[in-house]
Chain A
Amino acid sequence: MNMHTQPQRTPAETALIDAFGDRLSLLPGDGAVMLKRDDAIEAIKHGLPTRRVESWHYTDLRRLLSVVPDFDPTALAKAVAPIVEGSAVLPVLNGKSEAKVPAIDGVAVQSLSEKLIDGSIAPGLDPYGSDDAIGALNTAFVADGYFVDIADGAELEKPIELQNLQAGGQTHVRLAVRVGAGAKAVIVERQAGDGAALVSSVSQLVLGEGAEVTWLIVQEQPEMATHLAQFKAHIGKNAKLTLFVMNAGGKLVRQEVMVKTTGEGADFKLRGINLLAGDTHSDVTMVLDHAVPHTTSTEIIRNVVTGKARGVFQGRINVHQYAQKTNAKMACNTLLLSDDGEFSTKPELEIFADDVVCGHGATVTEIDHDHLFYLMARGVDEKSARGLLVKAFVAEVIEELDDETIVEALEARLDEWFVTHG
């Protein structure tokens, strides 16, 4: 958290600290878990991070988090249809997991509250650093979620959709997934709702040797919601993770992606699209650690900024000293479509090994006038031509995903955004 002691607590900081006192007796967890909660709230007492904290340079949480709603036990969130038909749905409604969940072959599902009560999740609750405000907030308040264990060798035919749906108040959810050696799965993380909630959501994923996972984060919070999310993954030997992030909602959004390659031959792909409208502040921050030799990664992020929206992408690739033969590439492209919008990006490389090939590229630009001219010369009016080009710009990233049903499902979400936001 913040290194400087704040002179005075903001209303949001006070509200969080008070809420912790009120909620404490209701929070599940054994001794170890409760100790971690205490540490976490201590970190929050030192103040939410400001722009002086490097990892929060463009998202001054202390200033931006102005309102913290109270917990609302009466809020009722409804499960929604999954984006891919036939998916096994595991809903978390207003911070509470369902007692009865569909049975899936080769998959064991437990509610996270059980894992908190028996303390087995405790080691995973530590924030990753002093600036991990989302981790601390979630650890302090997390009450439920799911723990999903996919057996070795299991190949899931249908996606699992983890839904985190809110209807106002506060929800603090954790979704932990372990994927066994050689297993294959598609997992959808759906973040949505219809209230002005404060949501903290942490997803933890561990990939065993040779496992292959496609994880889709589809964030469509309503325009008043505050969404603070974190995705953490460890990729084992020869395992492959494709992470797709679609951010298309929320008022204040921070999606952190913390990935570490832990076994040789691990491969990570990140594909992201951020669709920003209204006066949203949306921040995607990635830290990728290449910790062992012979691992590869590619990241492509596409952003569209309209209205008064402010977008941020921070991406850091760390190549550890012994991670020779790392091959890592990152690209961040932004279309800035409005003079009132802004976009800031900080693509970082931190390299301690010499035999590596690493690169990043970043661009911020408006629509290419030549492209526009090309379409308009063929009788397409300017508005439609612009629409076509913007859509093509982001759809390109979706099309890279091999699975046709997933591509179609995501394109449907994309179309919906374009219908609402023109």
Chain B
Amino acid sequence: MPAVQDTIDRVRKIDVDQYKYGFQTEIAVDKAPKGLSEDIIRFISAKKDEPSWMLEWRLEAYRRWLTLEEPTWARVHYPKIDFQDIYYYAAPKSTPGPSSLSDVDPELLKVYEKLGIPLREQEILAGVQKTDASELEEPSDNVYKSGRVAVDAVFDSVSVVTTFKKELAQAGVIFCSISEAIREHPELVQKYLGSVVPTSDNFYATLNSAVFTDGSFVFVPKGVRCPMELSTYFRMNEKNTGQFERTLIIAEEGAYVSYLEGCTAPQRDENQLHAAVVELVALDDAEIKYSTVQNWYPGDAEGKGGIYNFVTKRGDCRGDRSKISWTQVETGSAITWKYPSCILRGDDSSGEFYSIAVSNGYQQVDSGTKMIHLGKNTSSRIISKGIAAGFSQNTYRGQVSAHRKATNARNFTNCDSLLIGDQCGAHTVPYMEAKNSTAQFEHEATTSKISEDQKFYVMQRGIPEEEAIALIVNGFVKDVIQQLPMEFAVEAQKLIGISLEGSVG
């Protein structure tokens, strides 16, 4: 921005009204006592009615966690987290099963209504109860009529409702909460849980392994193309709770699934912790497309409050010719610490990472990806767009490595940063490691502000400055937006607009 002072002023004006998901809902909850101990883990496990192997798994992770230190290498600064001052389990008192929807707390449904989540409101939820698959196929008149989306909604610590289960089951797809999966499909969970992100992986993943309370489970069997988009909405509502969800997606040979997660939280002055783990497994010829629209509460204009988002996401291209694609739009959270990665184990497998990270106010983003090439003829592609405004710090941190046997590994990386205002920072920290002479890695990164020429070009066509900048920013992130499922591309574009409000308009 040329008028630096002007920008600062405008950024200052950002007030709490901007975060439109900042409401809080009074719902009766069932909470575990504050703090973390083996007893709390036993409590969570008992609440979830888990088999004993699961409890053992959690306890082992907890014991391991006690020996670990919090990582400090990321470019994020925050006061030390008191892990004993968090509620590790909070659940809305009524826990509805799909058969008793009337049990769902109307307040809860209102929350989702406010969020605009495609639960298709009451009638769709009711639909899950009363109708069979044929009736569900009728197009409804909501905005998502172009494509149907099955939703798993996670409220604080538990999954409250999953839609379209029946129809998915007909196709052989299992889509349910992970707690349900542990009870109903233990053989699958036992086989895959922790196989991509082991319990000993890192501080936050280990903590998650010990205390995770819910999340989604997706299993797409051999040769099945999942008939609709799958989606999970995460909502943190209770005060002082941490949300620790665990998502596990398995695509068997030749299967395909597209999955989207969205996240919001109420506005609070204190910080809340979110430490999720996502594991993806793609067998031979399978493809998983994972999209995230992350809009946790980012804190107020002074940087007070907001979510600490410490997430471990990893996909394992276990089979030959498998493909995993991560797309993320990161606009929320006070702190983002997140590196969705691909392990390209199978020959000819490929990984993709498309990211838009927008930071404003006092947000701190340290995000990127890892592409680990192990198999032959593997390829990966990284497109990262960072936009920093206000007083925020926006870091891309990525690693691309080719191991000795990764013949013909290919990578292309492009990370561009856009700076709006002179109080923010944009950083690029790529690591490239080649141990095979046939590997071919390309990396390019640029940092700039919106050029005067671009702005002049648009403005001389009669478009006001703020709109011109918005247009240019949208052009800047286009490569990534295009990767999102269509239903969410519009939402993401709007979100970027809202996040930058007050700095570019």
Same complex origin of A and B? yes
Q: How far is the CB of A292 from chain B (nearest CB, A)?
A: 14
A353 / chain B contacts, CB cutoff of 8 Å: 419, 422
Bound Cα distance from A338 to B441, whole angstroms: 16
Q: Which of B404, B429, B443, B447 contacts A358 (CB 8 A)?
A: B447
Q: Is B444 an interface residue (CB 8 A)?
A: yes
Q: Is B432 an interface residue (CB 8 A)?
A: yes
Q: How far is the CB of B440 from chain A (nearest CB, A)?
A: 5
Q: Is B227 an interface residue (CB 8 A)?
A: no
Q: Which residues of B are in contact with A by a Cβ distance under 8 Å?
A: 1, 4, 73, 404, 417, 419-449
B440 / chain A contacts, CB cutoff of 8 Å: 363-366
Instruction: With A321-B422, A336-B439 as known contacts, state yes or no: A351 contacts B444, CB within 8 Å.
Output: no
Closest to A346 in B: B431
Q: How far is the CB of B439 from chain A (nearest CB, A)?
A: 6
Shortest 3 CB-CB contacts between residues of A and residues of B: A354-B419, A359-B446, A342-B435
In contact, B444 and A364 (Cβ under 8 angstroms): no
In contact, B441 and A364 (Cβ under 8 angstroms): yes
Q: How far is the CB of A326 from chain B (nearest CB, A)?
A: 10
In contact, A324 and B422 (Cβ under 8 angstroms): yes
Q: Which of A342, A351, A365 contacts B441 (CB 8 A)?
A: A365
In contact, B442 and A363 (Cβ under 8 angstroms): yes
Bound Cα distance from A183 to B152, whole angstroms: 71
Closest to B407 in A: A339
A344 / chain B contacts, CB cutoff of 8 Å: 431-434
Closest to B426 in A: A351
In contact, A361 and B426 (Cβ under 8 angstroms): no
Interface string of A320-346 (1 = CB under 8 A from B): 010010000000001011110111111
Q: Which of A343, A344, A349, A358 is most buried by chain B, counting CB atoms within 10 A of its CB?
A: A349
In contact, B437 and A350 (Cβ under 8 angstroms): no
In contact, A341 and B437 (Cβ under 8 angstroms): yes
A350 / chain B contacts, CB cutoff of 8 Å: 425, 427
Q: How far is the CB of A190 from chain B (nearest CB, A)?
A: 31
A346 / chain B contacts, CB cutoff of 8 Å: 429-432
Q: Is A269 an interface residue (CB 8 A)?
A: no
B423 / chain A contacts, CB cutoff of 8 Å: 321
Q: How far is the CB of A303 from chain B (nearest CB, A)?
A: 11
Q: Is A357 an interface residue (CB 8 A)?
A: yes
Instruction: With A354-B420, A356-B448 as known contacts, state yes or no: A339 contacts B432, CB within 8 Å.
Output: no
Q: Is A70 an interface residue (CB 8 A)?
A: no
Q: Is A118 an interface residue (CB 8 A)?
A: no
In contact, B447 and A356 (Cβ under 8 angstroms): yes
In contact, A360 and B426 (Cβ under 8 angstroms): no
Q: Which of B427, B435, B444 contacts A359 (CB 8 A)?
A: B444
Given contacts A339-B436, A346-B429, A355-B449, 5 further A-B contacts (CB under 8 A): A348-B427, A351-B447, A354-B420, A359-B444, A366-B439
Q: Is A69 an interface residue (CB 8 A)?
A: no
Bound Cα distance from A357 to B423, whole angstroms: 17
A361 / chain B contacts, CB cutoff of 8 Å: 442-445
In contact, B417 and A351 (Cβ under 8 angstroms): yes
In contact, B417 and A360 (Cβ under 8 angstroms): no
Bound Cα distance from A365 to B440, whole angstroms: 4
Q: How far is the CB of A271 from chain B (nearest CB, A)?
A: 20
In contact, A348 and B429 (Cβ under 8 angstroms): yes
Bound Cα distance from A385 to B132, whole angstroms: 70
